[in-house]
Amino acid sequence: MLAHEMTSEVVASTGWFLEHAWLIPVIPAIAFVLIIFFGKKMPMKGSELGVLSMLSSLVFSGGAAWQWIQRVNSVVDGAHEAVVEGAHHAAPYVQPVIHEWTWWQSGGFHFGIGHHIDGLALTLLVVVAFISSLVQIYSLEYLRGDRRYTHFFAALTLFSAGMLCMVLAPNMVQLILGWEIMGLCSFMLIGHWWEEEANSRAALKAFFTVRVGDMGLLIGTAILFFSANNWTQKNLGVSGFNISGLSAWAMSGEASQSALTWGAVALFIACIGKSGQFPLHTWLPDAMAGPTPVSSLLHSSTMVVAGVFLVARLYPIFWEGMKIGDTNINFIVLIGGITIVIAALLAFVQHDIKKVLAYSTVSQLGYMMMGLGAGAWLPAVFHIFTHAFFKACLFLSAGSVSHSGSHHSFDMKKDMGGLAKKMPITATTWIISTLALAGVFPLAGFFSKDEIIDNVGYGGYNAFMIVGLTGAFLTAAYMTRATYLTFFGEARGAAAGIHHDAHDAHDAHAAVDTHNSHDTHVVDSHDAHADHGPHESPKLITVPLMILAALALTAGLSNATPFGESWERFKKYVEPGSEYVMVGSETADEHGAADEHGAEVVEIAAASMSVASEEKVTKEGCAVVAPEAGMVCYFPTVSHAPFKWSKAALSLIIVALGLVSSWLFCVQYYTRRNKRLVGLTERNKVLRGGYTFLWNKYYLDELYEKVIVRSIAHPIAKAAYWVNQNILDGIVNGAGKVSRRLAGWVYRNIDQRVVDGAVNGSGAAARGTGGALRPVQSGKVNQYGALLFSAAAIGALILVIINT
């Protein structure tokens, strides 16, 4: 150790924005309260507060990101100077800026609140604040005249506060807080137009489905807390909720493998729910019942990546718990891979443009999960970043089409087509984002998605690389289909300017439509639309679209692996270095408890502030070599696939094939009405079966609602009823009979023979009891109570027997 030890001091710079990052979620939280109480009296009904708060959060996040870049530069350059001849391989670990204050305490446990700022947190902060700002500006126009306009902005602002709070959480408690706030806002916003039953059903479905997963979050947090708390208190002086403490514990090699595995599985179940992964993805397409800005912000670019973020945030736990370093198939990569393909297939049979995008989101989330599960941490996080821009842009474009082009309908087959000429800006932004999503060079999606596929293969998961490539083909194909149906071909329905009464087949739609329009728009503006037919949307809608499209074009360049290391900014600034860090160079001040453990204990929370001496060790990163005493590390050593044009060319060819074949098919099918293709699903049995299977979403909803609910809930109810009717009543009956016989025996033998007043009385009493018991009454509450208490007693008895 001595030979490698570097005694140089690397001073990590810090700054005002980094130190006060906790303000970022606090601003929208305050704005939320103000909107709720004063919003209706404001000139713009509270929306100005929402937009202003998001813009200031954006400024704060941007400032913090800038100062983080300075900080990384100072550390990396310092390390470079220090290690001139040393065998320095691992990337230097830049201490995150962590501040933690005691939020509440109970019975000696302290629960902290504060911020944990590192590259990952900042990426998400900037993305969330940015997209939230644009979406709120967009909503100014999109929801103009809505009857719950103020509440909409209040919920949107609260959502942003919750997400920002979760992203910079330094501990699991704050993370859960933000996570649950997001779930609540998602529920409120999906059900924004709750007057229609479908919407409130969708809101409930989303809420309950995600809650199923959320149980995993609580359980996982509890498992990890109780297994890690001793270690983290002893070595780091922080509680077992602390995220960096948990990371260090997982990487220390002293953690129990079963606790890690079960903790990771439980947490991943929460991610499955939140991020719409395979078995629990069914809520996400239904969540499109909410207003389009909500779909854009919550259900594509930000909230649903919370699960991916959680995996990325606690990556050491998953790395060790799931054995990601090995090339065996693990839970995460498996779920991610399945999700990619099944969601992409579902996107082909949708008529609703937003549902296509919803399934596309599910599929892209599958990419991120697969990447994380295969050790491709950086590409997955980068994909969160790029995906947010182009998917938000796609959703907002779809909203723009529905707002101005198709008369508030989202049905591609009935009410769209040929809109490219009438809505040139929307069409352009849509097409740019589509190409970015498909992964065409040099748009944003290429640099992230291709990297994921590449790294999955490089990590040894060859089968999943093929899954990824298949997904890329499918993505290109279904997005081309949606593009064609919306913007090209002949105009249909509302897109052709057809009015409610002009067309018979349109009536059903019209009925729904008038209903909708009362919710969304004041009647006169709605009529204005109707008179003009399809037209380009106003500036409040198109400007956010153009900004997002510009980012969809360029965001990929921020980590452009093909262009050499100087372009890999994400790798430098976001990925934590996997380097052993000496514990014990600073003293803590915030928690009094830390001092009890003596001088060796350091409060990581304060480590970043005055930071003077971080003793660097030149080692080959964490989890590769065994740690030395007093060393901890916070991130595993992940491999990075070297970029090869040959591999990129392969995936580009696949994407191009998807685009071209789907385009040709669409032209033949939808415009030329080619006889051999039209009606193919009716003629061919195999195709028809596949189509029906997809159309019914793999029958998963039926599985959940009919099979599982009926087969589990009903038998339990039935069994309980049976127990009630047969066993309990039987016991009561039997007891009644026994006492009656007993009474009879007493009467015959004792009473008759021993002529004694006392005995005579007891015999009579017993007979009376027996007689009273004959009609079995339904003293249900007491029976339940008896069952409960005797079960408790028997349970205790079993425990006693086992333990003696």
726 counts as binding other proteins under rule CB under 8 A: no
Min separation Cβ 272 and other proteins, Å: 32
Q: Determine if 699 is a binding residue for other proteins (CB under 8 A).
A: no
- Minimum separation from the CB atom of position 740 to other proteins (A): 13
Exposure b/e, 275-309, CB count within 10 A at least 16 = b = bbbbbbbbbbbbbbbbbbbbbbbbbbbbbbbbbbb
Q: Per rule CB under 8 A, is residue 780 in the interface with other proteins?
A: yes
In angstroms, what CA-CA distances link 154 with 27, 38, 525?
Answer: 13, 11, 24
* Secondary structure, 3-state, 519-566: HHCCHHHHHHHHHHCCCCCCHHHHHHHHHHHHHHHHHHHHECHHHCHH
How far is CA 520 from each of CA 195, 523, 773, 804, rounded to the nearest angstrom? Answer: 12, 9, 65, 68
CB nearer other proteins, residue 498 or residue 728: 728
As measured in angstroms, the least distance from the Cβ of 802 to other proteins is 13
DSSP character string of 246-279: HHHHHHTS-S-HHHHHHHHHHHHHHHHHHTT-GG
Among 732, 743, 749, 762, binds other proteins (CB under 8 A): 732
Q: Of 523 and 793, which CB lies nearer to other proteins in the complex structure?
A: 793
CB of 217 to other proteins, least distance (A): 21
DSSP per-residue letters across 280-347: GTTHHHHGGGS-HHHHHIIIIISGGGHHHHHHHHTHHHHHHHTTTTSSS--HHHHHHHHHHHHHHHHG
The SS3 call for residue 441 is: coil
**The only residue of 1, 105, 424, 761 in contact with other proteins, by rule CB under 8 A:** 105
Q: Which is nearer to other proteins, 215 or 794 (CB)?
A: 794
Beta-bridge partner residues of 101:
113
Does 720 help bind other proteins (rule: CB under 8 A)?
yes
Residue 208 touches other proteins, criterion: CB under 8 A:
no
The residue to which tokens 């842009």 are assigned: 393
Residue (13 or 724) nearer to other proteins, CB: 724
Q: Which tokens is 55 given?
A: 């813009």
Question: Residue 765, interface with other proteins (CB under 8 A)?
Answer: no
Q: Which of residues 267-306 bind other proteins (CB under 8 A)?
A: none
Q: Smallest distance from the beta carbon of 601 to other proteins, in angstroms?
A: 22
Residue number, 104 or 693, with CB nearest to other proteins = 104
Residue from 735, 742, 750, 759 touching other proteins (CB under 8 A): that is 735
Q: Which listed range, 104-112, 176-184, 330-338, 430-438, lies at the site for other proteins (CB under 8 A)? A: 104-112
**Which listed residue (43, 107, 598, 642) binds other proteins by CB under 8 A?**
107
Burial of 466 (0-12, 13-18, 19+ CB in 10 A): middle
DSSP 723-789: IIIIIIHHHHHHHHHHHHHHHHHIIIIIIHHS--HHHHHHHHHHHHHHHHHSS----HHHHHHHHHH
Q: Could you say whether residue 769 binds other proteins (CB under 8 A)?
A: yes
Q: CA nearest 429: which of 456, 461, 400?
A: 400
Site for other proteins contains 16 (CB under 8 A): no
Q: Does the footprint of other proteins cover residue 709 (CB under 8 A)?
A: no
CB of 171 to other proteins, least distance (A): 17
Q: Are strands 97-106 and 109-117 parallel, antiparallel or unpaired?
A: antiparallel
Per DSSP, the chain holds a count of helices (H) and strands (E) of 34, 6
Q: Segment near other proteins (CB under 8 A), from 17-25, 462-470, 593-601, 770-778?
A: 770-778
677 is a site residue for other proteins (CB under 8 A): no
Closer of 625 and 799 to other proteins (Cβ)? 799
| Residue 27 identity (one-letter amino acid) | I
Q: Give me the helix-helix angle, 377-400 and 119-142, nearest 10°.
A: 0
In contact, 677 and 669? CB cutoff 8 Å: yes
Binding test (CB under 8 A) with other proteins, winner from 624, 625, 709, 772: 772
Q: Does residue number 711 form part of the binding site for other proteins (CB under 8 A)?
A: no
**727 scored as a contact of other proteins (CB under 8 A):** no
- Residue 679 interacting with other proteins (CB under 8 A): no
Residue 174 or 400: the one with the smaller Cβ distance to other proteins is: 174
Q: Does 794 bind other proteins (CB under 8 A)?
A: yes
CB of 177 to other proteins, least distance (A): 15
Q: With respect to other proteins, which residue has the nearer C-beta, 648 or 773?
A: 773
Q: Which of 198, 612, 712, 717 binds other proteins (CB under 8 A)?
A: 717
Q: Is the backbone peptide bond immediately before 442 cis, with ω within 30 degrees of 0?
A: yes
CB of 792 to other proteins, least distance (A): 7
Stretch that binds other proteins, among 207-215, 251-259, 549-557, 714-722 (CB under 8 A): 714-722
Q: Closer to other proteins at the Cβ: 674 or 726?
A: 726
**Using rule CB under 8 A, residue 793 touches other proteins:** yes
Q: Find residue 352's DSSP bridge partners.
A: 411
773 is a site residue for other proteins (CB under 8 A): yes
Helix/strand/coil (H, E, C) string of 28-57?
Answer: HHHHHHHHHHHHHHCCCCCHHHHHHHHHHH
Kindly state whether residue 523 participates in binding other proteins, applying the rule CB under 8 A. no
Neighbours of 553 (CB within 10 A): 18
Q: Which amino acid would we find at residue 475? A: T
DSSP state of 677: T
Chain centre to alpha carbon of residue 689: 32
Q: Please pick, from the candidates 37, 563, 699, 789, the single residue that binds other proteins as defined by CB under 8 A.
A: 789
Backbone angles phi, psi at 276, to 5 degrees: 60, 45
Q: Does 738 bind other proteins (CB under 8 A)?
A: no
- Least CB distance to other proteins at residue 779 (A): 5
Minimum CB distance to other proteins smaller for 234 or for 774: 774
Give the shortest CB-705-to-other proteins separation in angstroms: 21
Give CA–CA dist 255/501, Å, rounded: 70
Interface with other proteins (CB under 8 A): 104-108, 717, 720-721, 724, 732, 735, 739, 769, 772-773, 775-783, 785-786, 789-790, 792-794, 796-797, 800, 804
